[in-house]
Amino acid sequence: MKTKKTGFLILVAFFVIHVVFSQGRVISGKVSDEQGMAIPGVTITVKGSTKGVLTDFDGNYSVTVNTGETLVFSFLGMETIEKTVGTSNVINITMIESAQTLEEVVVTAMGIERAEKTLGYGVSTVKSDDFTVARETDVIQALQGKISGVEITGQGGGLGASSKITIRGMTRIGGSNNPLWVIDGVPISDANDYTTSRITGAIDYGNRAQDINPDDIETLTVLKGASAAALYGSRASNGVIMVTTKKGKGKSTISYSTTMRFDSPLKLPDFQNIYGPGNQGSYDEGVGDNLQDASSGWGPVISEGGTYTDYAGNLQTFTSNPDLQKDFYALGATKVHSLSISGVSNKGLNDYRISTSYSSQEGIIPGSSLEKLNLSFKSGAQLFNNLSSNFSMNYVNTGIEGAVAQGTNDPNVLTGIINRLPRTTDISVFTPWINESGDAQLAAVDFDGTNNPYWIINENQRTSDTERFFGNVSLNYEPVKNISMLGRVGYDTYNTTHFSNKHKGTIGLLDGSYTENHISRKELTLDFLTTYDNTFGDFDLTLRSGVQWNERDWSTIGNKGIGLTIPELFDPGNVESNVPWKNYSKRRILGVFGDFTLTYKKWLTLNATARNDWSSTLPKGGNSYFYPSIALSFIFTDAFEIDSNILSYGKIRGNWANVGSDTGAYQLDFLYSPQSSFYGQFNTTGTFPFDGQLAFSGPNTLPNVNLKPENQANYEIGLELGFFKNRLTLDGTFYKNVTTDQIISLLVPASTGYSRAMTNLGQISNTGLELELGALIIRHKGFRWNLDYNFSTNETIIDELGEGIDTYTLASAFNGLLVGASEGESIGLYGNRFARALDEQGNPIEDMILVNSNGLRYEGDNARLGNVFPDFTMGLTSSFRYKGWTLSTTFNWKEGGVLYSNTVSTLRTSGLAAETAIDRETLFVDPNTFVSNGDGTYSENTTPIPSVQEYWTNYSANRIHESSVFDATYIKWRELGLSYNFNKKQLQKLPFSSLRIGVQGRNLAIFNTSVPHIDPETNLFGSGSNGAGIEYNGVPSTRSIGFNIQVKF
């Protein structure tokens, strides 16, 4: 009986166990990354069923399953993991980053999110972590070497100076080539309000893309082709840079980061320290008393002794000061503090993020500084089941002191002083720079009317203050299933005040002056977008239609006061004469657009768009322009069900688009401006009103009421491949753009009464190849090595210019040096060359340079000196991760192009460059030169130069540009970052949920360059100018080394 009972109980137990297991068990656990940080939002499904859950804010989950079933853990950007349920009720998962994710969603035109694999055009995306490896305050410079098809030009080491970014080459010779910047779906201004006269010392206060806080960026996506950007209309003809800012995720988190870095000149000229000031080997007193001679480095050998009387009346002995220039530059310092609070509330229905960032910079030019404050607030709310809202607001306040000028004239302290000082000069002799009464400057070197550098820095102010707001608010309404409507308002406004003065006692303007300019820009954008999204069997259909209204206002009001009565009172009532000005413009664009996307079985996608714009800047009856686009993507590995251990993914894409462009405001009619003063012959001056009469000045450019919109036709084809489970990926693109009906301002004869006339003229074609490679080379036991490589080439050719036009000038310098466009050529640098022998047809023989009877080269014709843009660019980023350690570094390479350097010309003609000391005492024959026999024949030159000084002053004279033009090729070690991320266990006794510390470096070294004395990346032209290939006494670029700390609570 007992045995029967026992058997019965065992049977019941087995039955109960069976019932329990058949009803399922509760499995729980936590999902973390390789650093032990929780991952919220991981999808956990039971394989073969629709059952699934998500991890919470702390990465925890709980799911009911049966023993033997398989749990699938998936998360965007991570490798999918499968785990079979065994006897344990706890399954913790550590997820690792995928080699390359092909399911990624990217933000495209109008803020539309699309799966990247469905796109029929190429895009490039930089993520938030890429901006923090070696933090750069200028978001444009942070992109160096990381994106194919993008050319970035900086201006050197001046704080706040603008950076120019060009996508797929220059497409316009008469208008802007800057891309459109869009933040969270709304266009913002990237204006540079000082784009002219840089060659004469105008100050570049920067472009407004610098207002974007890198710490707020979630992703930055570059839409390169016209098809990608077509929905934005005419403003997007040069490409679009889409910035998506961070939003709140997970539980409430406080994040703080700080960066401290130190800046020093990356490359200073290589000076000779053998010869002192003078002329033809002899010291020669200056024209003034108690002044060291200003004849730079053509004097006697310094070691032979010699004395001079300084400005204080003391007798000084000549000694070499090799660190003269180094001692002038200050050690720059940058401090950045960022704080944010973010998270979600109301059971995940609302998200929020509040952030602030303060940066303080001290430049390498003494007295230069920049301060910036960023505040931002972003929130989203699910108001009802079918209604949601988003709000974003940004405030930026930027102040610049001691803004740096380039080019010639006194605002640039490098032009006439620092790069011309004799090697016997001690920089300390320039201080003090002002007398005790404060009304006159003290000099230490006779520079024939050049100001003391510290007088310029300390007494002649150059400041800028900018206050900016931008943001947007949107509502998304879903009235019925599959239909949504978006309404959005975007607003961007800033006010800037630029101030500069010349203190009383400034040489060249002894009575002093001041200039104050107030600039205001406003931009309002209204969007309405309706979307229909549905699935029909194997087809996914998306239809969109919308309207966009954009209005931009610009105004400026300012005054120049000349002749100060009280030295430091800068007021219109304290000057002898005032030259006031006021100007404004307003423009509007109305656009309607549609988007059609049809996908078949997820592997074939057709996308077509159309937009029509009406622009206020074009004539009535001709202000409407229509531009369509069509794109196709085909994932052949899915279509043909290719299941290979080698080829994991394959896609072919192609697109065609046509985009129009308008022109600036008020180009169609005569615009008259009121005048307050006049200047006549024999120094005749006066002011208006004169004898009760007002005066107005007409335009210098003849308007054209028949202007047509520019037109750009674009096509591209691309191939995307993934190998070895996408551990190796390739993305290649070939494209061609043709832009016709260029709107340009053309020179006309003075007899017309105008200097220029607006017209449609010319055609430009751009052809290029882009390649991006990604490789996960090693992934083993917590160690990862990733490589990212990009390559791009662009050829820009002027197909047509118009009858009788040899060269159209885009930007110019002095003595015939210019950047120009000639038919059948790329954008080139043109300047004066050495004289050449001529063949029987009168054409120059390139390798036969002529000298005069003294054996010296002389000026010849003005000709093309080379292409100002590189033949190709490359970028390489290598990153290593081991447990909590991360090491990342980036190099970029620019090959080809030419650069003219006035710094080099100045150093050589002044006898200060190291090469001018070679064979200083030897009279040699200039090799490979010829003399004319006067009868059309030539003989090899045998005449020695009269002196080394005369050789260099002729060879590198600024009227002969050829000798100072160099191959602009270089390789730059762009950034290096080493950081350690503490794991959860290490933080147990600390009040942080995460902690990362690191060291960083930017612009660490230059390799493979033939440009002497300067960084070949330094350029005169920044944002807003179409110039390139000219350096004119620029501030040296900087090498930065520092550290950073990031914590979360």
Q: How far does the chain reach from its first CA to its final CA, in angstroms?
A: 67
CA dist 532 and 680 (Å) reads 68
- Asked if residue 689 has a cis previous peptide bond (ω within 30° of 0), the answer is yes
| The predicted structure's pLDDT at residue 116 | 84
**Residues 986-994, mean pLDDT to the nearest whole number:** 88
Checking if the pLDDT of 814 tops 90, the result is no
Tell me the two tokens of residue 166.
């060009």
CA dist 596 and 533 (Å) reads 10
**Residues 819-845, mean pLDDT to the nearest whole number:** 94
pLDDT-based confidence at residue 618 (cuts at 50, 70, 90): confident
CA dist 235 and 525 (Å) reads 13
Tell me which of 415-424, 669-678, 978-987 is least confident: 669-678
Q: Which tops the pLDDT comparison, 854 or 422? A: 854
- CATH 2.60.40.1120 domain residues, the chain: 21-94
| The predicted structure's pLDDT at residue 1019 | 86
Checking if the pLDDT of 1 tops 70, the result is no
- Cβ(366)–Cβ(386) under 8 Å? no
| The predicted structure's pLDDT at residue 8 | 43
User: In which element (H, E) is residue 241 found?
Assistant: strand 240-245
| The predicted structure's pLDDT at residue 697 | 79
CA dist 884 and 981 (Å) reads 5
- Asked if residue 432 has a cis previous peptide bond (ω within 30° of 0), the answer is yes
Which CATH architecture does the domain made up of 141-265+333-411+460-668+703-827+868-897+969-1048 adopt?
Beta Barrel (2.40)
| The predicted structure's pLDDT at residue 278 | 82
CA dist 583 and 585 (Å) reads 7
Burial 454-465 (b: 16+ CB within 10 A, else e): bbbbbbbbbbbb
| The predicted structure's pLDDT at residue 20 | 42
pTM: 0.88
Distances (CA, A) of 401 to 249, 331, 368: 39, 16, 5
Residue type, 961: H
- Cβ(172)–Cβ(153) under 8 Å? no
| The predicted structure's pLDDT at residue 249 | 86
Q: What percent of the chain has pLDDT over 90?
A: 54
Convert the pLDDT of each residue in 649-690 to its tens digit. Answer: 999 999 999 988 888 888 888 887 777 766 554 445 667 777
Tell me the two tokens of residue 701.
């450019």
CA dist 44 and 80 (Å) reads 10
Q: Which of 586, 588, 548, 460 is nearest to 512 (CA)?
A: 460
Q: Which tops the pLDDT comparison, 497 or 1027? A: 497
CA dist 24 and 68 (Å) reads 10
Three-state SS sequence of 763-793: EEEEEEEEEEEEEEEEEECCEEEEEEEEEEE
Convert the pLDDT of each residue in 120-136 to its tens digit. Answer: 888 899 998 888 888 88
| The predicted structure's pLDDT at residue 201 | 63
pLDDT-based confidence at residue 303 (cuts at 50, 70, 90): confident
Burial of 755 (0-12, 13-18, 19+ CB in 10 A): middle
- CATH 2.40.170.20 domain residues, the chain: 141-265+333-411+460-668+703-827+868-897+969-1048
Place of tokens 């030019």: 365
Convert the pLDDT of each residue in 1002-1017 to its tens digit. Answer: 999 999 999 999 999 9
Residue type, 216: D
Q: Which tops the pLDDT comparison, 964 or 624? A: 964
| The predicted structure's pLDDT at residue 717 | 97
Convert the pLDDT of each residue in 26-40 to its tens digit. Answer: 889 999 887 677 888
For 580, phi then psi, to 5°, come to: -85, 165
Checking if the pLDDT of 336 tops 60, the result is yes
Checking if the pLDDT of 922 tops 50, the result is yes
Tell me the two tokens of residue 1019.
């350029």
Is residue 827 classed as helix, strand or coil in its secondary structure? coil
| The predicted structure's pLDDT at residue 4 | 45
Convert the pLDDT of each residue in 517-565 to its tens digit. Answer: 999 999 999 999 999 999 999 999 999 999 999 999 999 999 999 999 9
CA dist 704 and 664 (Å) reads 12
Tell me which of 20-34, 277-291, 766-780, 855-869 is least confident: 277-291
- Cβ(771)–Cβ(731) under 8 Å? yes
Residue ranges of the alpha helices (H) in 859-967? 902-909, 948-955
CA dist 57 and 51 (Å) reads 20
Checking if the pLDDT of 13 tops 50, the result is no
DSSP, res 216? G
| The predicted structure's pLDDT at residue 682 | 47
Tell me which of 439-453, 592-606, 727-741, 769-783 is least confident: 439-453
CA angle 449, 454, 459 (to 5 degrees): 90
Q: Which tops the pLDDT comparison, 363 or 232? A: 363
pLDDT-based confidence at residue 22 (cuts at 50, 70, 90): very low
Nearest 10 degrees: CA dihedral of 555, 561, 562, 566?
-160
Looking at every residue in the chain, the average pLDDT score rounds to 87
Checking if the pLDDT of 444 tops 70, the result is no
Q: How far is CA 661 from the centre of its chain?
A: 22
Q: Which of 1031, 1002, 1039, 1041 is nearest to 419 (CA)?
A: 1031
Checking if the pLDDT of 298 tops 50, the result is yes
Q: Which of 493, 465, 483, 495 is nearest to 399 (CA)?
A: 465
* Strand 701-702 to 756-760 pairing: parallel
Checking if the pLDDT of 214 tops 80, the result is yes
Distances (CA, A) of 210 to 842, 1019, 1044: 52, 18, 21
Q: Which CATH code is given to the segment(s) 21-94?
A: 2.60.40.1120
Q: How far is CA 308 from the centre of its chain?
A: 48
Q: What percent of the chain has pLDDT over 70?
A: 92
**Which span out of 391-405, 421-435, 804-818 was modeled with the highest average pLDDT?**
391-405
Tell me which of 326-330, 357-361, 431-435, 727-731 is least confident: 431-435
Checking if the pLDDT of 644 tops 60, the result is yes
